Amino acid sequence: MNAIATRIATIIEKENITQLTFPKSDVLHSEIKQDERQRRVIRAMKLGNNKKHKVKIIFEDVESLKKVETTIWGVTEKNIILKQGTLIPIHRIHEIKFY
């Protein structure tokens, strides 16, 4: 079983993400999983820009696992960009869920 599946993510409003602190370490240790995450980030951004499609992002700050439902508006080398320029470091994202 996936270790992330056994942990409960706290729902957070995207407006509160700016108050979080993110460690520098990657939450995914496998290069294969990191590559898959990157593909999902790009797909989520395209869906957000073309169809205003929301996704669920499961990520981790210094305190705990968090979950936000939002549209990804942009992607840099290190971050995803949400509305109002809110950033989530890609290396702290466990999963992006499409629905």
Q: Could you read off the pLDDT of 16-49 as tens digits, one per residue?
A: 999 999 999 999 999 999 999 999 999 999 999 8
Task: Please state, as a whole number, how many other Cβ atoms lie within 10 Å of the Cβ of residue 9.
Answer: 18
Task: Please state, as a whole number, how many other Cβ atoms lie within 10 Å of the Cβ of residue 43.
Answer: 15
Q: Which pTM was predicted?
A: 0.92
Report the candidate in 72, 54, 57 with the shortest Cα–Cα distance to residue 9.
57
Cα–chain-centroid distance for residue 85? 14
Domains contained in the chain, CATH given: 3-98 (2.30.30.100)
Q: What is the mean pLDDT of residues 67-88?
A: 96
Q: What is the mean pLDDT of residues 57-70?
A: 97
- Confidence class for position 99, pLDDT limits 50, 70, 90: confident
Token pair 């210094």 is at which residue? 62
Would you call 42 helix, strand, or coil by DSSP? helix
Q: What is the mean pLDDT of residues 65-81?
A: 97
Kindly tell me if the per-residue pLDDT of 81 is higher than 60: yes
Would you call 48 helix, strand, or coil by DSSP? helix
Tokens of 46: 């395209």
